[in-house]
Amino acid sequence: MIPQIQIEKIKGYNSSGIGMKINSDIEGALFPVNYKLLDEASDILVSKMNSDQIDLIIGLAGRGIIPAFILAQKLKKPLQIAYKNRLSLPNEIIVTEEHSRNKNLYFYINSMFENKRICIVDDEITSGNTFLNVYKELNSKGFVVNCFVAYIENGRNGRILLENRDAKLYTVFQV
- Radius of gyration of the chain, Cα coordinates, nearest whole angstrom: 15
The CA distances from residue 88 to 65, 74, 84, 141, in Å, are 20, 30, 12, 18
* Structural domain of 152: 41-174
> The pTM is what?
0.85
Rounded Cα gap, residues 13 and 130, in angstroms: 13
Q: Indicate whether 158 pLDDT > 80.
A: yes
Structural domain count of the chain:
1
Asked if 67 contacts 122 with a C-beta cutoff of 8 angstroms, the reply is yes
Q: Are strands 56-60 and 18-24 parallel, antiparallel or unpaired?
A: unpaired
| Three-class DSSP category at 90 | coil
- pLDDT digit string, tens, across residues 88-105: 887 888 887 766 555 556
Residue 24 lies in a domain: no
CATH number reported for the structural domain that contains residue 67 in this entry: 3.40.50.2020
Asked if 3 contacts 173 with a C-beta cutoff of 8 angstroms, the reply is yes
Q: Indicate whether 142 pLDDT > 50.
A: yes
Residue 36 lies in a domain: no
Residue 146 lies in a domain: yes
- pLDDT digit string, tens, across residues 121-137: 998 898 898 899 999 99
The CA distances from residue 8 to 13, 18, 29, 70, 80, in Å, are 10, 10, 13, 26, 29
Residue 2 lies in a domain: no
Burial bucket for residue 71 (CB in 10 Å: 0-12, 13-18, 19+): buried
CA 146 to chain centre: 13
Where in 25-116 does DSSP place strands (E)? 56-60, 79-82, 92-96, 106-110
Residue 9 lies in a domain: no
Q: Indicate whether 40 pLDDT > 70.
A: yes
